[in-house]
Structure 1
Amino acid sequence: MPTSHAPATMTGDEIVALSRQHTIFEWSAQGAVDPIPVDRAKGVYFWTPEGKRFLDFNSQLMCVNIGHGDPRVVMAIQEQAAKLPYANPFMATEVRARLGAKLAAITPGDIDCFFFTNGGAEANENAIKAARWYTGRHKILARYRSYHGATAGTITLTGDPRRWAAEPGIPGVVHVPDPYHGIQRGWDPVDDALARLEEVIQLEGAHTIAGFIIEPVTGTNGILVPPDGYLQGVRALCDKYGILLIADEVMSGFGRTGEWFAVDHWGVVPDILTMAKGLTSAYVPLGAVGLRRKVADHFRDKVFAGGLTYNSHPLACAAALATIAVYEEDGLVARARQMGEVMAGLLADLAARHVSVGAVRSIGLFGIAELIRNRQTREPMAPFNGTSPEMAALSRFFRHEGLYTFVRWNTFFANPPLCITDAELREGFEIIDRGLAAADAAVA
C-alpha cells in the first residue's frame, strides 16, 4: 500500500534551532550538539525534512530491530489506543496477560514471570532490587566495560566513564575486570578471567553478594563476544556461592545476536533477565524484568516493593506483542544469523584491506571495528574515553555520505535493523570502505 507523507512544517535548521533552545540533549555539552533533524523513517532508512536519506546502520540506539514503520506494529498501537489506551498497573488487561505468556515461551529456561517497566534502566534498577530482596544480601557485582543505564542505581552499575559524573552513586556496587583489556592487551584466557572473578567474590565475602549483573555480549563498550566457557563459568561460580546471575539483554536481546537472547548461544539460564529496546523495536517505550520461577515464587507471600505508573502500559504491551509477531512471521532471528555471516565476512574484508582496522568483532547483526594508528604497537586511533582528528573526520564522512552509526573512541559500530537486505548491508560497507582511506593514511 503506498504511503503518503505530509510535507514537513519546519525546516531541518528550524527543528534543530528550536530543539537546542528548549531541550537538553543527552551526554553532551549543549553548545556542541549538532543533531540530525529527522522527519520520517521506513525500513532501514530515515530522512531529514529536506529529503536527505540516511541508512540507519545502528538501528538508532541498537533498538529498532524490525526496521522503521512496520505497519503491523503501527496498527496494533492504533487499535489498542482506540480500545483501551491506559489502565493502572493494579489492573489486569488482555495485552498484559498475553505478553507475559508470550515472553515465558521465548525466554530461556524457567524464566516465566515478568515485571514491566518503561525501559532498560528501570528494568535493571528493579532487577538489582529483586536480587537483594530474594537473597537478603546487599552487594552487586558489575563489570568495568559495561553500561546498564543512567538512573541513580544503574549508572553506578555502569563501569564505563559515564559513571564518573554520578559518583559516589548507590552503595554496595563492586566492579570487576572484564576478560577483555583493550586492543593492545586483548583477551584473558577463560580460566584466568574466572579465577580473577572468584578471587573478588572471596575477598568481598560471597555471603554479602546478592547478584552479578552482566551484558552477555557487551554493547557500547565494544561488542565483546565472550569466549566459549566464560558465561558457563560465571554461571557455575554464581551457583557455587548462591549469587543471582542477572543478564542485561536490553541491547543484545530479541534477535540482535542471531538468537532470541544472547545467553542462548551458550545455553546459560540467568536467574534474572532484563530486556527493553527490541522488545517493542522502540516504537513505544517498554522494558521488562524476567524472573526464574524460584525467584518469582519468593514474592508470593512477600511484597514486591516496586511500582511504576506506566507498568504494563496497554499501548506498550500491544506494541510488544505485535513486534514479537513480526520477528516470528518474518523469521528475523534466523535472518540475523544469516545476514550476520555476511556482515562478518564484510568486516573481515575491511580488516584485511585497511591498515587502520586493528580488530573486528560481531555476532549476528551486532558488530564493531576497532581502529589503530600503529600496526606494531596497536595504539588505538583514539585514546580511552577520548576522540582524535581521524575519528572525528570518519564520523563527519559517514554523516556526509548518509550513513548513520555510532563512532565512539577508536571504534565504529555496525548494528543495522534485522530486516536489512544483502544489497543494503553492502551499501553501508561501501561507504565505510571509502571512509577508512583517511584513517589508513594516519597509520604509522
Structure 2
Amino acid sequence: MDAYYTSGLSLKELKTLYEPIKRLSDSDIIKLFPMLELDDACPLCGGALSAPRISRGVKGSTANSYYDQQVICTNCGKTKTEIEKEYQESIRITKIRAAYSGDAVEFVWGHYDANRLDDVVFETLVSSYGILNNTYLKPLLVKPLMIDFFDECKRLLRLGYIRPSAVFNNWLNGFEVEDDGVSFYWLDVPFSVNLVDYVPLKANKVFVRDNTEFINIGEGEYELWQQTAKGLLMDYIDDQMWEGDYECEGLKREELQTLLRPLLSKYSPAQIASMVWSAMAVAEKQANEGPSYKKTGNWAAGVIINRAKRALAEGWDIRPNLISCNVEPTPFEDHLFRVHIPLGETWMYRRIPPLVNGRVEIAPALAPQGKVPATAEMIELAMTIAEEHDLDEPNYLSFDETRDFISVYR
C-alpha cells in the first residue's frame, strides 16, 4: 500500500514485484488495503469512521471522495446510511421531546363536578384510556361515539387537563416535525394527565320508587348522554349513507343533528335508527325511479329529515331495530353507561327523558319485536360454546339469536 500511494508505483509494477497479487484484478488489489480512518467521529457513538481505499486512478478523486464510499463506524458497525438515518431520527425525537414533554395541569379529583361536561368527558377518557396508574392516556385509536368529541378534547387541552406526550418511542410516529414546529395526530399519540388523589368513580345507583326507576345524575353527565346518543345515530346515518354511496354534509347534516335532540326525548336511538333505515329505503327507491338530483346525499338526508319531523308532529309508533349490528360501541360508551348512566347496552333501546332537579326517570327499554334479552344462564352457556369452538359470540341482547346459537353449536 505504501509503494502504491507514497512511492507512486503502478498496480502493474506491484504485480511484478509481489507474486501473491500477480493474478488479481486491479480492484481486488485495492480491496486488500486496510480501510482508511477518517477524521470525523460517528455522531451516534463517537467511534472512528472508516472507508475503503480508493484507486489512485479515479479521475477527480480527492480526500473528500472517501466520504462518498461505504463509510462504516469501527465501533458500532453501522454504515453511513444507517448512521445518517438514526442521527436524523434522534434530532426529530429531540425536537418532539422538547415540544411535548411537559406535564399536564394538576386535576384535583376532589374538585370533580358531575355538572361540568369537561369534567365528565375527562373522567370518561381517564377511565377508558388510562394507563400507568392513570398518568397517561393511551392513543385514542377509536373515536368514541360522541358528537364534537375532538372539540371537547381540544377544550381539555386548552384547560391543561391533558397534554400530548412524547415519552414512548414506539408512539412517536404520531408526531410530525414541520418547518415551523411539531404537530401531532389526535388518534395516534398518548396524552399526559396529572391527577391528584384520584379515586375511580363508583357507578351511580338506580333507585325504584312507585314502580319507576330513576337515577340522580349531573348536568354534565346528562349532556354527555345526549352527545353520545347523537354521535351513535350520526355514525349510523353515515353508515347507511355509505352503503347507498351518498354523503351527508353541510346544512342538511347540521339540520339532522339539530333534530336529534327532540327526537331522542321521544324515541330511543334504536327507534330513530329504524326510522332512518326505512327513510333510506324510500330515498333509494325514489333515486332509482326519479331524476338525477334524487341520487344525491342531500336528497336522502332530506327524506330522513321530513320523516323525523312527521314522526315528532304525528307521534309515530316506531318499532326499533338492532343498530348495534351496524355501529360498534367503544370503551368510551361502555364506561359511560356502566358508571355514569348505568344502563348497559340497553341504553340504545331507551329514550332520554328530561333532567329535573338532578334526577332522570329511566324510560323503559323498548327492544325489537321478538328480541327480548337473553337470560344470564343462556349468555354464560353461549360464551362457553364460543370459546370452545373459537367462534364469534352472538348478540346477547337478543334471546332469539343467543338461543339459535346454542342450538346450532351444542
TM-score under structure 2 normalisation?
Answer: 0.21
Tell which structure's C-alpha radius of gyration is larger: 2
Greater helix proportion? 2
* Structure-1-length-normalised TM-score: 0.20
